[in-house]
């Protein structure tokens, strides 16, 4: 998509580091009373909803495929359902950087092994160093090694690659190409420890834009390719090729297993190497572009092949460099493992009239584009496109010829052919993952059927959620693809709200007239009015006729309970109100730019705001705001919500400033003392026997990060997620469902919309007598290791019903509490990592 959203040495071998790892009322102590089991799943948007920079097929096992995303983690293909399984959902808010996957590598010898280079940004936005994650069970469980620098999974050049590679002859050896001038790194123990390859001569010098924090770092070493034929099984590959983001000398070679390196003689200059693939015929194929992508891609591009046997470089570009049509990078590159003369390359951001996908069946001598010009503006399409699994991909618009909707894509940084099936091809775009199962029909004059292959990937950055008391159960505001009315939670919506919008930043409804809604958005087109209204629960929207003066859009919106007033705080602009759906606006008196706002959910004249460490209230529908008597408040708050059905009840989540509540319209506030962190707060249907709505937060209570629920207005709390369901950044929105007790919806920054419901299955009892077996040894092999951890996780997640050994339930109950749950998983992880010497019940 157009963008993503962010919240606020020399050679050293590193041992593995792992992590599973006024009036003011006095603070009121609250209590977290353990946890309750919940079932978690995605609200289906469908197709992905974000950039897919890499697809990685296993060379050794059919249908073993991985996909990496820039802010949504990594996935594994499930061939039985043709959907993707998320692999990194255990990372919580403090490690959400690991959802930015810089690179992924499958083991070409042992298909159970998979590696991930995880880390989102190299600048100061996040403190986390990059980590190499390794798994020997296809991503069911992970171990982690921290490297002494940051990775850039959501930064320029992220579709170049793959930076991470496993030696096909000695799979204990891995290489990783780093950013920021950190060079090339190597592991010789299956990724446990790493050391810099000190004699690698060039860490790269290309910087996309030195004047911006996001783009000022060196792109670095971008791919590694092995000449498998240069060695034998069990011995390190001798001939290794490395691509570097440097327009002078970018391709380097070692012929002695990485001991020495040299620039490959005669190589092209002036462009950046996006992908490099060594083929079984001895050819090294490389796609080049002027820039690193993935947003730009303009300029020029080329495709070259290097004969590793003769040293000859051959320009095989589908379009001559001098051609006026050559106005984009060549990025994606696939070589058919069954016939290395069959090649596919893709343009990156040709934009108009669409992307280019070229195919050659003669090693690059001749090429065919997947479309060609007819009588202008007609085009002849050699493909059919099916978006029935994600209908929103047509963007709700009709394009004049020669463009068509939907497009083939944009930001096509990677394209791959299945090494076991020459008919199957997949490619990632800025919005979804497309693929075909009849690629070779193209060679015989047929049409390629392209369809959505991204189901199961939910990568949206979600910025707002509402669950009204009537109508659809959920309505969202989403980055890049606006947002949706979710009539069904497990069926993707057909369209998003407003086709003119990309990113919607905020949404609200009138509590007493819930079909009325307001939505704010960002748009670079100043002719577009960046606030819209709906009178039918979000099914249809109309843009306001005008905006407040100097508005740049975005920001937050609040709708009065009676639907008579809408308050908008545009980004970097003064808060303003409208009583006529945006025909005119009045600046709110008494508030500064950037104030947090919320409407009372009972009294239509009452609006709340927080600004500059002070709490404000308006009793005239937002025309004037005055400070209340509340004092000693936090400096800032992240979220402010009023409670439906309770006039004057307002809660504030202040991140590290904790959770605050008022029952008198903000005149006094109580801080809940042992809630050290509260990111967002929301309300849902009251528990049976309770009058007050259930309260939900994401945050930290008693030093435990998670999602929490209170049934008694914040007196006591239970954790409702576990260590396997963290979902990364969960600090933008949360809401309970006012019609279903216990159901909660959570916005994530890269894993879409998560919803949870109480797990009705009762805890599984375990034996009370100790049998003659080892605690934790679930497969009966006499030891407690990662295999047992995988079995335990699968049991807790209800993927298996039991264990093969006798009295396996007793062996799995590590803390002796009579239940097998996520706590036992935590104990087993700590035991395997030698952080504890025995289990609690031993």
Residue 689's CATH number: 2.130.10.10
Confidence at residue 31, expressed as pLDDT on a 0 to 100 scale:
58
Q: Same structural domain for residues 657 and 708? A: yes
Domain of 817, in residue numbers: 761-842
Domain end among 715, 743, 758? 758
- For residue 181, tell me if it sits in a domain: no
Q: What does the alpha-carbon distance between residue 275 and residue 355 come to, in Å, rounded to a whole number?
A: 18
- For residue 651, tell me if it sits in a domain: yes
23 pLDDT more than 70: no
| CB of 749 closer than 8 Å to CB of 481 | no
Nearest to 520 by CA among 563, 552, 550, 493: 552
Neighbours of 649 (CB within 10 A): 23
- For residue 645, tell me if it sits in a domain: yes
Calculate mean pLDDT across residues 180-191.
98
- 70 as an active site residue: the answer is yes
Q: Same structural domain for residues 727 and 644? A: yes
Nearest to 335 by CA among 406, 273, 286, 388: 286
Calculate mean pLDDT across residues 314-339.
96
Task: List, in sequence order, every residue forming a beta bridge with 598; answer none if it has no partner.
Answer: 608
pLDDT band at 27 (very low <50, low <70, confident <90, very high): low
Exposed/middle/buried for residue 210 (C-beta within 10 Å: 0-12, 13-18, 19+): exposed
Q: Same structural domain for residues 604 and 735? A: yes
Q: What does the alpha-carbon distance between residue 713 and residue 636 come to, in Å, rounded to a whole number?
A: 23
Q: What does the alpha-carbon distance between residue 333 and residue 285 come to, in Å, rounded to a whole number?
A: 8
Q: What is the pLDDT of residues 543-586, one digit of tens each?
A: 999 999 889 899 999 999 999 999 999 998 999 999 999 999 99
The secondary structure of residue 168, as a DSSP letter, is S
Token pair in block for residue 710: 């209170």
- For residue 94, tell me if it sits in a domain: no
Q: How many residues does the structure list for the chain?
A: 842
- Sign of CA pseudo-dihedral 599, 611, 733, 461: positive
204 pLDDT more than 60: yes
Active-site position among 136, 217, 354, 480: 480
Q: Same structural domain for residues 484 and 529? A: yes
Confidence at residue 782, expressed as pLDDT on a 0 to 100 scale:
84
Confidence at residue 815, expressed as pLDDT on a 0 to 100 scale:
86
Neighbours of 52 (CB within 10 A): 32
| CB of 405 closer than 8 Å to CB of 398 | yes
The secondary structure of residue 655, as a DSSP letter, is B
Angle between helix axes 822-832 and 786-796 (nearest 10 degrees) is 170
Q: Same structural domain for residues 559 and 681? A: yes
Confidence at residue 126, expressed as pLDDT on a 0 to 100 scale:
85
pLDDT band at 35 (very low <50, low <70, confident <90, very high): confident
Q: Same structural domain for residues 669 and 786? A: no
Confidence at residue 9, expressed as pLDDT on a 0 to 100 scale:
24
Q: What does the alpha-carbon distance between residue 420 and residue 443 come to, in Å, rounded to a whole number?
A: 18
User: Left (φ > 0), alpha (ψ -120 to 50) or beta: where does 621 sit?
Assistant: left
Q: Same structural domain for residues 794 and 695? A: no
- For residue 553, tell me if it sits in a domain: yes
- For residue 580, tell me if it sits in a domain: yes
| CB of 655 closer than 8 Å to CB of 670 | no
All residues at 6 or more sequence positions from 449 whose CB lies less than 8 Å from its CB, including other chains: 383, 384, 386, 436, 437, 438
Q: Same structural domain for residues 808 and 819? A: yes
Domain end among 706, 736, 758? 758
All residues at 6 or more sequence positions from 84 whose CB lies less than 8 Å from its CB, including other chains: 67, 75, 76, 77, 78, 454, 455, 456, 457
What is the CATH classification number for the domain harbouring 840?
Answer: 1.10.1330.10
φ, ψ (nearest 5 deg) of residue 788 = -65, -35
Helix and strand element counts for the chain (H, E): 3, 59
The secondary structure of residue 264, as a DSSP letter, is P
For 420, the 3-state DSSP assignment is coil
- 480 as an active site residue: the answer is yes
Domain end among 735, 758, 781? 758
pLDDT band at 32 (very low <50, low <70, confident <90, very high): low
CA distances from 544 to 40, 529, 552, 605 (A): 37, 6, 14, 22
* Pick from 1-10, 113-122, 821-830: least confident: 1-10
For 711, the 3-state DSSP assignment is coil
The secondary structure of residue 811, as a DSSP letter, is H
Q: Same structural domain for residues 671 and 744? A: yes
- H or E, element range at 357: strand 357-360
- Sign of CA pseudo-dihedral 819, 821, 827, 828: positive
pLDDT band at 723 (very low <50, low <70, confident <90, very high): very high
Neighbours of 378 (CB within 10 A): 10
Q: What is the pLDDT of residues 628-652, one digit of tens each?
A: 999 999 999 999 999 999 999 999 9
Q: Same structural domain for residues 474 and 584? A: yes
The string of DSSP letters for 370-385 reads SEEE-STT-EEESEEE
| CB of 654 closer than 8 Å to CB of 671 | no
| CB of 59 closer than 8 Å to CB of 337 | yes
- For residue 120, tell me if it sits in a domain: no
* Pick from 72-76, 298-302, 512-516: least confident: 298-302
All residues at 6 or more sequence positions from 160 whose CB lies less than 8 Å from its CB, including other chains: 219, 222, 223, 243, 245, 272, 273, 274, 275, 292, 293, 331, 413
Q: Same structural domain for residues 711 and 780? A: no
Report the number of distinct structural domains present in the chain. Answer: 2
Q: Same structural domain for residues 622 and 480? A: yes
- H or E, element range at 790: helix 786-796
- For residue 529, tell me if it sits in a domain: yes
pTM across the whole model: 0.89
């Amino acid at each position: 998509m157009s963008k993503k959203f962010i919240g606020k040495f020399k050679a050293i071998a590193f041992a593995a580091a792992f992590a599973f790892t006024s009036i003011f009322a006095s603070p009121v102590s609250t209590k977290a009373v353990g946890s309750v089991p919940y079932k978690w799943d995605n609200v289906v948007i469908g197709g992905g909803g974000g950039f897919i920079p890499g697809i990685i097929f296993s060379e050794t096992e059919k249908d073993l495929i991985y996909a990496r995303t820039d802010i949504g983690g990594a996935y594994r293909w499930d061939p039985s359902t043709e959907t993707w399984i998320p692999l990194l959902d255990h990372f919580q808010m403090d490690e959400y950087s690991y959802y930015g996957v810089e690179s992924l590598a499958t083991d070409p010898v042992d298909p159970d092994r998979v590696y991930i280079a995880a880390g989102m940004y190299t600048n100061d936005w996040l403190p986390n160093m990059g980590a190499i994650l390794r798994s020997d069970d296809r991503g069911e469980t992970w171990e982690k090694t921290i490297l002494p620098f940051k990775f850039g999974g959501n930064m320029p050049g992220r579709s170049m690659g793959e930076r991470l590679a496993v030696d096909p002859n000695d799979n204990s050896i891995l290489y990783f190409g780093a950013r920021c001038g950190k060079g090339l790194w190597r592991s010789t123990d299956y990724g446990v420890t790493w050391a810099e390859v000190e004699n690698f001569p060039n860490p790269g010098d290309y910087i996309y834009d030195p004047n911006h924090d996001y783009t000022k770092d060196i792109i670095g070493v971008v791919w590694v390719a092995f000449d498998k034929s240069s060695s034998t099984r069990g011995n390190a590959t001798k001939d290794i090729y490395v691509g570097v983001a440097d327009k002078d000398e970018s391709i380097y070679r070692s012929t002695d297993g990485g001991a020495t390196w040299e620039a490959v003689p005669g190589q092209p200059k002036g462009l950046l190497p996006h992908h490099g693939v060594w083929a079984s015929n001895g050819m090294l194929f490389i796609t080049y572009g002027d820039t690193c992508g993935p947003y730009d891609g303009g300029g020029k591009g080329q495709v070259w092949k290097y004969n590793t046997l003769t040293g000859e470089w051959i320009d095989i570009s589908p379009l001559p460099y001098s051609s006026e049509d050559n106005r984009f990078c060549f990025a994606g590159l696939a070589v058919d493992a069954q016939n290395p003369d069959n090649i596919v390359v893709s343009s990156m951001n040709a934009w108009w009239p669409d992307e280019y996908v070229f195919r050659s069946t003669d090693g690059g001598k001749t090429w065919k584009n997947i479309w060609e010009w007819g009588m202008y503006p007609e085009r002849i399409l050699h493909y059919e496109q099916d978006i029935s699994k994600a209908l929103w991909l047509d963007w709700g618009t009709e394009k004049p010829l020669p463009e068509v909707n939907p497009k083939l894509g944009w930001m096509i940084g990677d394209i791959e052919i299945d090494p076991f099936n020459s008919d199957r091809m997949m490619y990632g775009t800025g919005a979804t993952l497309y693929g075909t199962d009849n690629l070779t029909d193209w060679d015989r004059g047929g049409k390629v059927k392209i369809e959505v292959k991204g189901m199961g990937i939910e990568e949206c950055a979600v910025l707002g959620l509402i669950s009204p008391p009537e109508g659809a159960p959920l309505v969202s505001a989403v980055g890049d693809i606006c947002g949706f009315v979710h009539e069904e939670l497990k069926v993707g919506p057909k369209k998003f709200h407003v086709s003119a919008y990309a990113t919607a930043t905020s949404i609200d409804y009138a509590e007493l007239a819930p079909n009325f809604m307001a939505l704010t958005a960002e748009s670079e087109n100043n002719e577009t009015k960046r606030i819209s209204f709906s009178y039918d629960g979000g099914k249809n929207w109309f843009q306001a006729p005008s905006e407040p003066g100097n508005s740049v859009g975005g920001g937050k919106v609040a709708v009065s309970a009676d639907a008579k007033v809408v308050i908008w705080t545009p980004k970097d602009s003064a808060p303003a109100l409208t009583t006529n759906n945006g025909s005119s606006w009045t600046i709110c008196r008494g508030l500064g730019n950037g104030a947090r706002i919320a409407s009372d959910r009972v009294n239509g004249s009452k609006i709340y705001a927080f600004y500059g460490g002070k709490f404000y209230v308006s009793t005239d529908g937002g025309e004037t705001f005055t400070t209340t008597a509340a004092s000693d408040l936090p400096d800032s708050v992240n979220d402010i919500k009023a409670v439906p059905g309770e006039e004057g009840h307002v809660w504030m989540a202040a991140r590290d400033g904790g959770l605050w509540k008022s029952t008198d319209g903000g005149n006094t506030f109580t801080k809940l003392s042992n809630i050290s962190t509260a990111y967002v707060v929301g309300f849902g249907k009251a528990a049976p026997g309770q009058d007050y709505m259930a309260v939900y937060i994401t945050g930290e209570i008693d030093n435990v990060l998670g999602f929490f629920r209170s049934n008694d207005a914040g007196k006591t709390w239970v954790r409702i997620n576990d260590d396997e369901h963290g979902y990364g950044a969960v600090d933008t929105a949360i809401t309970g469902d006012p019609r279903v007790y216990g159901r909660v919806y959570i916005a994530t920054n890269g894993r879409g919309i998560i919803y949870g419901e109480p797990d009705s299955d009762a805890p599984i009892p375990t034996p009370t007598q100790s049998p003659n077996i080892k605690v934790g040894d679930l497969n009966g092999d006499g030891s407690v290791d990662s295999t047992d951890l995988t079995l335990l996780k699968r049991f807790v997640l209800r993927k298996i019903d039991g264990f093969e050994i006798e009295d396996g339930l007793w062996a799995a109950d590590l803390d002796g509490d009579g239940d097998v749950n996520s706590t036992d998983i935590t104990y087993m992880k700590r035991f395997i990592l030698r952080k504890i010497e025995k289990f609690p019940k031993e």
